[in-house]
Amino acid sequence: MTATQPTPAPEVLRQHAEQAYAHELSALAAQDDRPKPPQWNLSPHAVLTYLMGGKLKDGTEITAKYVGHRRLMEIAVATLATDRALLLIGVPGTAKSWVSEHLAAAISGDSTLLVQGTAGTGEEAIRYGWNYARLIAEGPSEAALVESPIMRAMRTGKLARIEELTRVQSDVQDTLITVLSEKTLPVPELNTEVQATRGFNMIATANNRDRGVNDLSSALKRRFNTVILPVPDSLEDEVRIVVQRVAQLASSLQIPAAPPALEEVRRIVTIFRELRSGVTEDGKTKLKAPSGTLSTAEAISVVNHGLSLAAHFGNGELSAADVAASLVGAVVKDPVQDGIVWREYLETVAKKREDWRDLYKACRAVS
């Protein structure tokens, strides 16, 4: 395990946050004159600016990474500054991982110390494993130890990230307790321990819908401050998020199509919001809600998919026909129940809107 980061090859599909926004981070660091917590690259204030966007004194424009309540990001940053672990909760697609990645990038300059939580995540993914060939050849030694990302974060004083904490088995979750309270990871086989250096902390994300799969024990809960990330408040916020993310993704995926018309995005976001809340935006018609979550992230992928269809098979401009296929795919997760929901929506809501004719026809054609 070498500590040096390989410089990313230009053909990498998606760059890490600290690489994609390197210029913003360095501009912020240059301007930052407020006190920094130990080992932090930026002061809490600068981290907030990085997340919420703004303009620096030297004119550098910082893009908004999180569109929503500033209050929530303040709590998140303040939590990390008080050396307490942060847990981001929300329904799928509410930018939990996105926020956690950017927090790690801004604070430690490294968002790669990541453990992906699954039902199969074992203790060695959180503590350490062994290189068995070496273990058998040489017996237990430092050299035979395979560090987990968390152990590495402890050594280097950086932020570790755990995705989908509630999917991890309870007994594995509980190995975090010592790490979080005593900031140490014992290695009994070598009769040593790894003590966390200053700057180490942890950001975990968890899914509201997963509650009960592997709910955290109260001992572990107590070691986290929680921030609940909500779905976007207003239509305009959500449209903004979708447009911004689609533009970023399109540039990284090199989709040649022109940027999507705002109107088309607004229609998609409207459909998502209406189905999610079970009532039309004017509050007059009640709707059935589909089984999926219909998050902002899915709206982004619908627009993206539509863009690439338009670029490769269409005339380059995002049209109703381009989004229809992936729109239906995003809404109809359960072919029987969601199919009914979607048809009802098309007939009772979409059909009646004068300027939605094309979308209605396109959707009828594919569903």
Partner 1 sequence: MTLTLFPIRHHGPGSARSLAGALERLRPDLVLVEGPADANLVLPFLAHPDFKPPVALLGYVNDDPARASFWPFAVFSPEFVAFQWAARLDIPARFMDLPASATLGFEREDEPESDLHSDPLRVLAEAAGYSDFERWWETLVEARGDGGDVFGAVLEVMTAVRADAPAPAGREAMREAHMRQTIRAAQKEGFQSIAVVCGAWHAPVLTDLAAYPVKEDAALLKGLPRAKVTLTWVPWTHGRLSMHSGYGAGVRSPGYYHHLFTTPEHVTERWFARAARLLRGEKLEASSASVIEATRLANTLAGLRGRALPGLDELNEAALSVFGWDSDLPLRLIERQLIVGEALGEVPSDTPTVPLAQDLARQQKKLRLKVQPEQLEMTLDLRQDNDLARSALFHRLNLLGIPWAQERHAGGRGTFKEAWALAWQPEFSVRLVQASRSGQTVADAAGAQAIETARTSASLSELTALLEAVRYADLPDALPAALDALDARAAVGADVADLLSALAPLARLARYGDVRGRDEVAKGADEAPARVFRTLLTRTCVGLPTAAIGLAEDAAGVLQRAVDAGDASVRLLDDAGALAEWRAALLHLANRLEAHPLLVGDAVRRLRDSGELDSPEVERRVSLALGADRPGDVTSWLDGFLGHSAALLLHDSALLALLDGWLAGLEGDAFQESLPLLRRVFSRYEKPERRALGEAVRGGGPNRGEAVLELDEERAMRVVPVVLRLLGVRQ
Q: Quick one: 176 or 341, whose CB is closer to partner 1?
A: 176
The dihedral region occupied by 93, where left means phi > 0, alpha psi between -120 and 50, and beta the remainder, is: left
DSSP tag of 165: G
DSSP secondary structure string, 65-87? Answer: S--S-HHHHHHHHHHHHTT-EEE
Q: Quick one: 48 or 255, whose CB is closer to partner 1?
A: 48
Distance between alpha carbon 31 and the CA centroid of its chain, in Å?
27
CB of 216 to partner 1, least distance (A): 8
CB of 83 to partner 1, least distance (A): 8
Asked whether the CA dihedral 339, 262, 239, 98 is positive or negative, the reply is positive
Vertex 52 angle, CA 47 and 58, to 5°: 70
Cα–Cα distance between 319 and 314 in angstroms, integer?
9
Q: Quick one: 180 or 359, whose CB is closer to partner 1?
A: 180
CB of 21 to partner 1, least distance (A): 21
Q: Quick one: 147 or 210, whose CB is closer to partner 1?
A: 210
What letter represents residue 239's amino acid? V
Cα–Cα distance between 138 and 286 in angstroms, integer?
69
Cα–Cα distance between 109 and 112 in angstroms, integer?
9
Q: Quick one: 176 or 310, whose CB is closer to partner 1?
A: 176
151 SS3 class: helix
Q: Quick one: 81 or 258, whose CB is closer to partner 1?
A: 81
Cα–Cα distance between 147 and 124 in angstroms, integer?
8
Neighbouring C-beta atoms of residue 256, cutoff 10 Å: 11
Q: Quick one: 79 or 97, whose CB is closer to partner 1?
A: 79
Phi, psi values for residue 86, rounded to 5°:
-115, 135
CB of 174 to partner 1, least distance (A): 17
CB of 306 to partner 1, least distance (A): 34
What letter represents residue 357's amino acid? R
Q: Quick one: 81 or 213, whose CB is closer to partner 1?
A: 81
CB of 75 to partner 1, least distance (A): 5
Site residues (vs partner 1, CB under 8 A): 44-45, 48, 71, 74-75, 77-79, 81-82, 84, 89, 208, 211, 218, 221-222, 225-228
Place of tokens 């086989």: 189
Q: Quick one: 228 or 235, whose CB is closer to partner 1?
A: 228
CB of 82 to partner 1, least distance (A): 4
Place of tokens 């990085």: 50
CB of 159 to partner 1, least distance (A): 17
CB of 181 to partner 1, least distance (A): 9
Cα–Cα distance between 147 and 121 in angstroms, integer?
15
What letter represents residue 353's amino acid? R
